Copies of this chain bind each other. A is one copy, B any other.
């Protein structure tokens, strides 16, 4: 198999569609945007879209399909969200029901698919700027925490902001703010720098999601709004059916990471 990192998104999705690439997508089709997937019944679509509009930092929407259509026309025309994600999670009434490799048995004309940006997009520029990304160095998932910051509610959706944390050497914190500010469409600048207690995190060594990472002497914990927020909030409503990507098994768009920078 050719080098996955250098493949273009269409070829990668074609392998995924044939179930020939069932693995986490980190490092695949580098330079192209990977997105979180949330599929909801159309009855919830307006509230979910409004919630995202009111909370753009945790909920950066990249694409919304027409009701009943699995094609993300803006970010990957011709793709099919029923097949082009390596692994899905199906939730019924807020409970994980099963993991599947396509949505053959679940897709219906009443569903709307949302693609949401993820911080992968700004981690590559961080690394290129010499800013360490600890969970990549330690080959684990980014640590995520539920904060005491409430999202702006919308319709049936409400809940706290979830943040991801990256420990940054003190002398690079300003640069980290600058680099990520370039990408407001995928979480953008941090929402908090330093003391975790200030945003309601009691124990930084015990993330609510993902894995704990090492914080070295001289490093400052820096917190970004996290794309887990909208999924966590939607789950609280216990929709009859909700489908997401399996964690780490993302949808790969035709959009380049740099297309999402404002400068």
Residues in chain A within 8 A of chain B (CB atoms): 45-46, 49-50, 52-54, 61, 64, 66, 73-74, 152, 155, 177-178, 181, 184-185, 188-189, 262-263
Taking a contact as CB atoms under 8 Å apart, the answer to whether B178 and A74 are in contact is no
Pick from B53, B185, B188: contact of A64, CB below 8 A: B53
Report the minimum CB–CB distance from A155 to chain B (whole Å): 8
CA distance A64 to B45 in the complex (A): 15
Could you say how many copies of this chain the assembly holds? 2
CA A64 to CA B155, docked complex, whole Å: 11
Q: Is the CB of A189 within 8 A of B263?
A: yes
For the complex of A and B, 7 pairs with smallest distance between CB atoms: A46-B46, A181-B263, A184-B262, A49-B49, A181-B262, A184-B184, A53-B61
How far apart are A72's CB and chain B's nearest CB, in angstroms? Answer: 11
Q: How far is the CB of A158 from chain B (nearest CB, A)?
A: 13
The answer to whether B49 touches A50 (Cβ under 8 A) is yes
Q: In whole angstroms, what is the CA distance A52 to B46 when docked?
A: 13
Q: How many angstroms from the CA of A49 to the CA of B154 in the assembled complex?
A: 13
Q: Assess the B50–A54 pair: CB atoms within 8 A.
A: no
6 contacts between A and B (CB under 8 A): A46-B46, A49-B53, A66-B155, A74-B152, A177-B263, A188-B262
